[in-house]
A and B are shown apart, each in its own frame.
Chain A
Amino acid sequence: MEKDTKAFQRVYTKLFQLTKATVSLKASGIGNEELAIVDGRLAQVVKIMEDIVTLQVFAGTEGIATDAEVIFTGKAPTLKVGEDLAGRFFNAYGEPIDGGQIMGEEREIGGPSVNPVRRKQPSEFIATGIAGIDLNNALVTGQKIPFFADPDQPYNQVMANVALRAEADKIILGGVGLTNDDYLYFKRVFDDAGALDRIVGFINTTENPPVERLLVPDMALSAAEYYASEKGQKVLVLLTDLTLYADALSIVSNRMDQIPSKDSMPGSLYSDLARLYEKAVQFPDGGSITIIAVTTLSSGDITHAIPDNTGYITEGQLFLRKDSDIGKVIVDPFRSLSRLKQLVIGKRTREDHPQVMNAAVRLYADAANAKTKLENGFDLTDYDERTLDFAKAYSEKLLAIDVNIEVDAMLETAYELFGKHFSPVEVGLKQEFVEKYWKK
């Protein structure tokens, strides 16, 4: 029954257990996490007990018979890396979508972590032109940060804009359960911007089996590691949508009868997501991997296990919300945070940047209080009225995602708004900044 085809390829044809996602068979000499082909479908070893090997079949086990052919490949999932990758789109298995072959060196995906003492502290500001990001939540190379957005928000558009403005050497798109329309959208905007030769895509669309998605982020990040660590390039990785990745994880763990934790997610969700996000890194020689991801929410609920675990891992989050006062999508200044911003604001940008940012957000919070008062039917003070006027202008001129200006212009705009609605004392900036920048 066992025959050797190639050097370490062993073929078996007797499955004795099948579930929706896994098959089990007797086999020997098999390595943990090794890949196999089950009835032509890619599968991976997830459990070995004595001579019984359990394989997870990425595309599902539908129609697989007990005498299906199982070929073990003797290796963990790999990707061929090389200059050839640029400008190409691949499926979850790292095969070119448009057919053909690529030349390159074969690398295991999901490889080891960078030794923390070999990392460098991120310090390079990424300008996106969007004030809701640059002013309030400045991004830094080597950072990992997701957009938190309801499914109807234009997160893919914002992400494409950010990617194109970010001056990255390579943009790697990991499409995890991307709709075909969005996949074509990304292709078109990158093409229109003449950036296709800087793009590498690993795409799993909604038309592909969900469990296959689990390979996409590792593929994208292995390609990123190649460019960043070996070629010293600045790499930006876009992962959309990691909520669907987590959903795929829960499908697998459920089918393997693991005890679910909160929101039916596997107990290892934190570690599983951290393993991906922690690939973001600044190398000392200039190469870097920056990860911008998407975590879709269900009606804004950030306490759900997926956004919650994500928030504990990433270096902040960008929260998109529709502001009904101005009828535009804004980057919400309360729920959004860039944890690395203090490495660049006031250092790579103007000295008063941190103070201006905080003052504006504080005033915006005062406006939110005034709004509550108004909704509860109370009279507003003169100060309340002014904060409301300020909030509207602030939202329109700075928070909206269609803003595209330089950081200095953002700061100037903020002072304009301060000057128009408040006195310096009400804004509460350090005296030296008031003297230097306040608009009379």
Chain B
Amino acid sequence: MKSIGKVTGIIANLVIVETRERVAQNEICFIKHDDTRLMAEVIKIMGHKVYVQVFESTRGLKVGSEVEFAGHMLEVTLGPGLLSKNFDGLQNDLDKMTGIFLKRGEYTDPLEKDKEYEFEPLSKEGDKVIAGSWLGEVKENWIGHKIMVPFAFNGEFTVKSITKKGSYKMNDTMAVLVDKDGKEHKVSMVQKWPVKVPIRAFKEKPRPFKVLETGVRVFDTLNPIAEGGTGFIPGPFGSGKTVLQHALSKQAEADLVVIAACGERANEVVEIFTEFPELDDPRTGRKLMERTTIIANTSNMPVAAREASVYTAMTISEYYRAMGLKVLLLADSTSRWAQALREMSNRMEELPGPDGFPMDLPAIISNFYSRAGYVFLNNGESGSITFIGTVSPAGGNLKEPVTESTKKAARCFYALSQQRADSKRYPAIDPIESYSKYLEYPEIVEYLNKNNGENWTTNVWFIKDSLLRSKEVYEQINILGDDGVPLDYHITYWKGEVVDFVISQQDAFDKIDQRSEFKRQRYMLEKVVDVLKSEYKFESFEEVNPYFKRMINQFKQMNYSEFESEKFKKNEKELEVIIQERKVA
């Protein structure tokens, strides 16, 4: 029997329900309104009064309306077919909804229950299995989608029977398992899981030790993110958070990408809907959309579902990680989720923390980030979730609760600078403020030097240092004037500019420049380091600026040409000529 109650109060999307029956914190309920049912989540219980946040508009709702509790928390449906889907924050398939406008109370099936999948068993009768063990596999696009022992199964089971190779629908029984008491359990291709609970079907979570190649130089070369690592991108509006995340979603070396569009613009999601089905995934030759799942809760969609959207995205990521896949999870913007928490906390008249955010915001954020990570599964395979969130600080000021809490939780910090964006130095990552803690992990250093040449990290620190010194002398030049400083200062300044223009800056809208693989990054890094380590002869400071501008211009022509193509080589030759003009032998 499901618990029931009645609406006794309504303040925007906070509704108070009276019930004398059993309810649980975070339990889902449905409020009957005319001929629709509005989904809501329990957020506080005070005696017989239950506070619920409604995931829909409450316009027209009346006290006395009937409420039915669902008996479970907010959960997602996990099974083959999640890839290429466009979901809302509650995992409704947006493509299945009727009409142009969203209708409240319309909830659609996230999967295709009538579709047939080619099943292949991976286990046999008598096998001992636990939650997350791979029983079989079906093809989902090009991915071998594992059919696993449901995560909710506790303890050890024995496979009693496994369905043989063939094509089946997702609700068909794929295996029968027997628990230690001899009770039988049927397993299909589908399972449900509450989004706020981490899926822990793995053996261990080691410190990340590999780098996720993103094709974006400010990441890979300057501040690499580990596979299974965490990072965040704070920045004022218009500084390039979304463009950067889209670049990552297109180019990163991940098996699949889950994008949570959380409280941001609908047109940005439309851009993905429109472009990804056309763009090629260079790794597989298939379309990008085939490795992408979008969870869209745009800023005009119900505010309460913003929080749900990031958890839904994380849970789907964990599901694929348990199949031994490399998942990249992106959330834009985590600040909108924090704001949704703030709106609700204010409505409940809770004691506010800094800037009106709930007191437990730091804990909520760090819990969420801790769900990312590289894992060794129980069968010896490995999988990972690399998580990168954006943060939208009020007024662009990084001293605010969401940025500060996130800084404690994430290991990479990609600070976007308004000044760099204003001068169109894209991506506008501040090369000095930003950091990757992973660059200090010995296992990551070893990995990088093994894959990109033994001098790689030395070179990386060398160019970082050059950027810093360039900035320092620039301030001196500004104070003392062009002719008030030694000639060397100008050269130091311009060497840093070479790093900035050739490595830091990258045109996200240029077909060639937008993606730079490690091989190419290594080549360019060595070239740039060469230039920085050389000495150049100048008569006066006035010669320095035009000379380096020419050099940078030539370097950029290389960045715009396909790696190792004729054009690339021709541009490189011309660059050599420029270098030789003033280089001291």
Contacts and interface: CB of A to CB of B under 8 A. Distances in A.
Interface in B394-409: 394-397
Nearest to A361: B424
A311 B94 CA distance: 27
Interface string B456-483: 0000000000000000000000100111
Given A33-B60, A49-B16, A262-B395, 12 more contacts: A32-B60, A47-B9, A116-B86, A119-B266, A121-B274, A259-B346, A267-B339, A268-B303, A278-B298, A378-B484, A426-B549, A428-B553
Interface stretch (B95-103, B119-127, B365-373): B95-103
Contacts of A108: 59
A279 B269 CA distance: 15
Nearest to B238: A337
B265 A278 contact: yes
Contact of A305 (B60, B101, B394): B394
Interface residues of A, number: 80
A384 to B, nearest CB: 9
B355 A261 contact: yes
A58 to B, nearest CB: 17
A271 B62 contact: no
Contact of B553 (A259, A260, A354, A425): A425
Interface string A126-165: 0000000000000000110000000000000000000000
B37 interface: no
Nearest to A54: B11
Nearest to A308: B395
B8 interface: yes
Contacts of B483: 379
B342 A49 contact: no
A426 B396 CA distance: 32
Interface stretch (A90-98, A312-320, A409-417): A312-320
Contact of A114 (B100, B263, B553, B560): B100
A17 to B, nearest CB: 16
B546 interface: yes
Contacts of B67: none
Contact of B59 (A76, A305, A365): A76
Contact of A112 (B57, B62, B266, B270): B57
Nearest to B571: A431
A34 interface: yes
B509 A114 contact: no
A216 interface: no
Please classify how large the interface on chain B is, using the bins under 10, 10 to 19, 20 to 34, 35 or more: 35 or more
27 contacts: A28-B63, A30-B62, A32-B58, A33-B58, A34-B60, A46-B11, A46-B12, A47-B10, A76-B60, A111-B101, A114-B266, A116-B94, A116-B266, A116-B269, A116-B298, A117-B273, A261-B356, A267-B343, A268-B303, A270-B336, A305-B394, A308-B394, A311-B236, A312-B237, A337-B238, A365-B422, A378-B482
B456 to A, nearest CB: 30
A120 interface: yes
Given A32-B10, A121-B274, A308-B394, A142 B101 contact: no
Nearest to A336: B238
B191 interface: no
* Max chain A C-beta neighbours (<10 A), residue from B10, B352, B397, B482: B10
Contacts of A283: 100
Given A32-B60, A337-B238, A358-B424, A229 B100 contact: yes
Given A49-B8, A229-B100, A278-B266, A113 B300 contact: yes
B299 interface: yes
Contacts of A258: 346
A362 B482 contact: no
